[in-house]
Amino acid sequence: MPTKTKKKLVIVESPAKAGTIGKFLGRGYKVLASQGHVRDLPRSQLGVDPEDDFAMRYITIRGKGDILAALRKEAKSATEVLLATDPDREGEAISWHLAEVLKLDPAAPCRVEFNEITKKSVAGAIKKPRAINMDLVDAQQARRALDRLVGYKISPLLWAKIKKGLSAGRVQSVAVRLIVDREEEIEGFVPEEYWDAFAEIPLKRENGKQDLFQVRLAELDGKRADLTDGGAAEKARERILKAALAVSSVKNKEKRKSPAPPFSTSTLQQEASRKLNFTIAKCMQVVQGLYEGVEIKRGNTQGLVTYIRTDSVRVSDEALTAVRGHIGDSYGADYLPEQANQYRGRSSAQDAHEAIRPVDVLITPDSIKAALTRDQYQLYKLIYARFVASQMTDARFATRTIDIKGDGVLLRYYGEVKRFAGFTAVYEESTDEAEDPSQAFLADAQEGDAVQVKDVAINQHFTQPPSRYTEASLVRTLEEKGIGRPSTYAPTVTTVIARGYVSREKKRLYPTELGRMVNALMEEYFATIVDPDFTARLENELDAVEAGKLHWRDVLRSFYPAFEAQLARADEAIEKIEIADEVSDTLCDKCGAMMVYKMGRYGRFLACPNFPECRNTTPILVYIDAPCPKCGARLLEKTSRKNRKFYGCERYPECDFVSWDQPVKKSCPECGSYMTLKRRRDQDLLLCSNESCRHREEVEPQDDSA
């Protein structure tokens, strides 16, 4: 029999990545997936021994035995074993664990890493294996130990004192505190009344045509016009109407707007939330697929974006050269700066990886649209446009300020209009709040021109409380405060919602009563754990471990004694807290008791209070104000196993109508099909459900900030 040709074994994390890389490397290699971590601390025990200088006890993760057996078998017959897990702390730790179980020397050149999954990048990395970076591994071990100590020490206390199923965590507890603090700030906010005044004045447009412009009252008698009540506003109105006014100055300037840098993990999550209405978790799920590889055409699979967990905005010289060539060819010299735009990341940013960008700027979103899912196409288009725009020229705006004075009254007109699109021809950054659209033309006037006021409008306003956090703004705040790292933002937001500490309504995050209670307890007895500054300092210490400047056990030695004292005090001082279940108006159809609301994995549900004698449960039915397009019955709002809302007929399974988009009562005026509601950041749409029609109508935007 012919002897089997020996191959080099390459181990990656995911099967999708294994398939992509296997096609690149060809016959001389076998590529297998570890499917994430193969060893971890035991679930049933602490696994970290403070009495033995924080020795860590690692065991094979349940269900990974067969994977490890297959890896051992292949490693035994391979000519060389290369560990190609993700290029970050977690990936380095997975490689170290694999080296341990496969009995590889971590100091030998067995580790390869690449920032993008392309044939060129993978082939280059395979030729340059290195030793496992134990500083990275130790930083991950320190983080894992800290998280385990906090979670496994505080959570049982919460179970005993409040109820089972609760948890605490280094980052999640700080996130809950931020949301609770914001809610308390909103509740304690006292609105202050103020007024403004706008004079309606005829001025010329730039083309010479006369038009009426709203010109704001800026000053009265040389002081800022602070109109604190209706009486002051009415007096100001009378003065404006009586004043002899003339143009005192006209100032023309140019304003420039520079492009935003390419995406880091957090800025991608924020923009995907604002522009695409993606949750943070969905964003990471979709971009993971773009990174691991997509079959662009039959037999041609490759990753489309660079590594997706990064807080850097750096771009390689090779990528800069490519994108600048693309801009010059596609948009012209006016859109290409003389030198490449350079961006500075946050001072605490890790610069090991590039920003998130397309691996090849010539692979445009539209050229591969057919190979992508709708979500992949939208997210790739966002990443692509942001990257290209980041290397384009500034947008230029003409601005004009016209001051109109007389009898102690100063009115001020300000307008701006875009004169050159620059990078905005490709991409504009979004914000959490809607912006006022700028005027498409400017008013024109000459110094000394007399001005006649047609009318004056006075308007009452009240100061507004700060907005509640969205997922996007919470991630931005966590990043600004140095809490967590790119890999932790999505699981943090998912966890605080799943635990029932926070609810998400119309994209806004609200603390629940349970969240408030747990946060109050944490603030009283574990003040350092929920202190953003303390948590940020711990992150800096982990960075120091990664840089080889601090031993990982020293981080734990300085943290644990004070934490242990807090635990002892809390265990002694906290009394049992009884939480009464909220009673519904629904009778249990098994025993007749009034059912109560409970929180489960997929949200709230109704349960019989006589558990365990009666185990009856029922979902909470939420009807929408629209009939089933198929049978005319009522439609229910439901939740999928992946926590995504959809809409289905109450007569299921007799009627099988389902829709991801919310149907409305209105029928399409073009084809008669039912219309669906599409929520956008600044403008909701009604969209025809008929794919061949797709008639759309704008509807009044709904205020979701209250």
Q: What is the dihedral of CA 367, 486, 16, 40, to 10 degrees?
A: 180
Beta bridge partners of 251: 401
Instruction: Tell how strand 450-451 and strand 59-60 pair up.
Output: unpaired
Q: How far is CA 643 from the centre of its chain?
A: 17
Tokens standing for residue 622: 């939420």
Q: What are phi and psi of 543, to 5 degrees?
A: -65, -35
Query: Following DSSP, what letter does each residue of 583-641 receive, concatenated?
Result: EEEEE-TTT-PEEEEEEETTEEEEE-TTTTT---EEEPPEEEEEE-TTTS-EEEEEE-T
Under a CB-based contact definition with an 8 Å cutoff, are residues 161 and 577 in contact? yes
Q: For residue 136, give the nearest of 97, 81, 101 by alpha carbon.
A: 97
Separation CA 127–CA 106 (nearest Å) = 17
Neighbours of 73 (CB within 10 A): 10
In the DSSP assignment, the letter for residue 118 is: S
Q: Is 453 exposed, middle or buried (0-12, 13-18, 19+ CB in 10 A)?
A: buried
Separation CA 196–CA 659 (nearest Å) = 46
Beta bridge partners of 396: 256, 420
Under a CB-based contact definition with an 8 Å cutoff, are residues 296 and 368 in contact? yes
- What spatial distance separates the first Cα and last Cα of the chain, rounded to whole Å? 76
DSSP E strands, 61-143:
80-83
DSSP-H helix ranges across 417-551: 471-480, 489-498, 513-525, 532-546
Separation CA 163–CA 182 (nearest Å) = 25
Cα dihedral 123, 129, 134, 135 sign:
negative
Which sequence positions are flagged as catalytic? 307
Q: Is 315 exposed, middle or buried (0-12, 13-18, 19+ CB in 10 A)?
A: buried
Neighbours of 49 (CB within 10 A): 12
CA–CA distance from 408 to each of 245, 425, 526 (Å)? Answer: 10, 44, 58
Tokens standing for residue 193: 């009344």
Q: For residue 670, give the nearest of 690, 650, 655, 645 by alpha carbon.
A: 690
Q: In sequence order, what are the residues at sequence separation of 6 or more whose Cβ sits closer than 8 angstroms to the Cβ of residue 103?
A: none
Q: Is 284 helix (H, G, I), strand (E, B) or coil?
A: helix
